[in-house]
Amino acid sequence: MTAVIRQAIRGADRRGSATAARFMVYGVYTMKRKQIYIEEAQERAIKRLAARRGVSEALVIREAMARYIVDEPEAPTVEQPEDHPLWGIIGIVDDPDAPIDGSINHDHYIYGVPRKYPVPKKRR
């Protein structure tokens, strides 16, 4: 048993078993250090909440992040490039008279602004 785990177990009497278990999980196995920027009002609120609950500010932030992540819907995963919705627009303009530089000078054709790039040579 490592010294950190023994310290966490001994600390269970002071912090309560749930906090000691969290310390063991976060402190020993899975914790990664991150630095973030927060507003002064957020810092004051975190300090007050941590003091009122008798826990660390880091624990308050971790719990808030965990709730946010659970509530945040995940983006759909794309297994194959062909499954992506943008794949469907490939080839929708199959007009031989379509502008050859439509992909690079699209603002010219959509908004009427001058072309940014020279027109490439015609396709064969």
Mean pLDDT within 27-35: 72
Q: Would you state the pLDDT for residue 111?
A: 83
Give the confidence band of 49 by pLDDT, cuts at 50, 70, 90.
very high
74-87 per-position pLDDT tens digit: 766 656 777 776 67
What ranges do the domains of the chain cover? 1-32, 37-74, 79-124
Q: What is the mean pLDDT of residues 19-31?
A: 55
Q: Is the pLDDT of residue 32 over 60?
A: yes
What is the rounded distance in angstroms from the CA atom of residue 14 to the CA atom of residue 19?
A: 9
Q: Tell me the C-alpha to C-alpha distance, in Å, between residue 7 and each of 4, 11, 22, 32.
A: 5, 6, 13, 20
